[in-house]
Amino acid sequence: MNARRSCLSVPGSSEKMLAKVGGLGADEIVIDLEDSVAAGAKEEARDLVCRVLSEGRLGAGLVAVRVNALDSPWHRDDVAALVDRSGSTVDSLVVPKVEGARDILEVERLLDGHDAAMGLQALVETAAGLLRVGEIAAASPRLDSLILGYADLAASLRRANPEAAGERWLYAQEALLVAARAAGVDAIDGPYLAIADEPGLRNWARHVRDLGYDAKWAIHPRQVPVINDAFTPGDDELEHARAILAVLAQAESDGERGAASLDGKMIDEASRKQAEQVVARAAR
């Protein structure tokens, strides 16, 4: 899994935003060729993105590009252009509106045909995609993450408000998380659309982080620090995790295996696994 907490989406049609996005603190930059680019500007945006990437002007860590949907007239040209002109600078392609393993396999075949080493991320944002999220997660060794997209999923489910209370999305969040964990890929939460609502974003980010998610999309630079903070283990959490590991290590050295006690609570092998995950996440 990649070391990311925040994934900042940037319109591929804006050279100004592409020029400054590398210094905004996001762990991953997701350049968007789909929803944020008008139909009449698709080719121009694609050329701009390929030029910026090939010139190494992004100055970022992980770089992904959201291509247009498979049933669009731009999808194949997006993949071919990115591979041929800037493949070495793109870590993965985000495939929108994935509804089954066949969608991932189709993009995989395109990449194999170009002998490209890019990874894939599946954006799950329809009822059909959510229903088949398990098969999507296991579709390809190229796949490194599942992303839950709320806006299109709300439309697919005929749900009026994509930012309805978090518990209304719990089924979708849990379904995607379970599929991701079973397949050994990252679970990434989609964007929080209310850009000015920092408390709401903070609460939502902490909610999905506590569920077990690895990262969350941002759609504005001001959201990045909030998301990074939510997905970074705090000092108290890290100290507690290290204490668990120390107590269990001491118990083992004393010849006591299976369980021990810390602050009046029993800890065991499951506690060790959770503590190791916290320490690893902090290190990442």
Give per-residue pLDDT as tens, 39-64: 999 999 999 999 999 888 787 689 99
210 occurs within a structural domain: yes
The DSSP code for 209 is H
Share of the chain above pLDDT 90, in %: 69
- Structural domain range at position 182: 6-230
158 occurs within a structural domain: yes
What total of structural domains would you count in the chain? Answer: 2
50 occurs within a structural domain: yes
pTM: 0.87
1 occurs within a structural domain: no
Confidence of residue 109 (pLDDT cuts 50, 70, 90): very high
226 occurs within a structural domain: yes
Q: 162 and 277: one domain? A: no
What dihedral do alpha carbons 49, 53, 59, 60 form, nearest 10°? 70
Specify the pLDDT at position 260.
73
Q: What is the pLDDT of residues 183-212, one digit of tens each?
A: 999 999 999 999 999 999 999 999 999 999
Q: 247 and 115: one domain? A: no
Q: 27 and 140: one domain? A: yes
Check if the beta carbon of residue 201 is closer than 8 Å to that of residue 226. yes
Q: 40 and 87: one domain? A: yes
pLDDT at 164 over 80: no
Q: Considering only 144-148, 192-196, 200-204, 269-273, which range has the smallest mean pLDDT?
A: 269-273
Q: How many residues in the chain? A: 284
Average confidence score pLDDT of the chain: 89
Specify the pLDDT at position 69.
97
Specify the pLDDT at position 282.
67
Q: Which of 203, 230, 257 is the last residue of a domain?
A: 230
CA distance 30 to 94: 8
Helix %, strand %, coil % of the chain (to 5)? 50, 15, 30
* CA 274 to the chain's CA centroid: 21
Specify the pLDDT at position 49.
96
Q: 158 and 48: one domain? A: yes
Neighbouring residues of 153: CB distance < 8 A, sequence distance ≥ 6: 124, 125, 126, 127, 130, 159, 162, 172
16 occurs within a structural domain: yes
